[in-house]
Amino acid sequence: MNVKVRLHRRNFPYGKTWRSKTYSTKQVEAYAVQEADGWLVITVITRYF
């Protein structure tokens, strides 16, 4: 079986404060594999900057 994991990344405007620091951007990364009827997401990582 040859499984290829794909990375899907997207940045969103955020503009919120957490622990006295303001973050303008929220980045979401989803690692997924394609199956016959759609995508199966393996993990999601969220970063703020």
Q: What is the pLDDT of residues 1-49, one digit of tens each?
A: 678 899 999 999 999 998 999 999 999 999 999 998 999 999 999 999 9
Predicted local distance difference test score (pLDDT) of residue 25: 98
Closest Cα to residue 8, out of 44, 35, 48?
44
Domain range for residue 13?
A: 5-48
* Domain count along the chain: 1
Query: Does pTM surpass 0.95?
Result: no
Predicted local distance difference test score (pLDDT) of residue 3: 82
Predicted local distance difference test score (pLDDT) of residue 2: 78
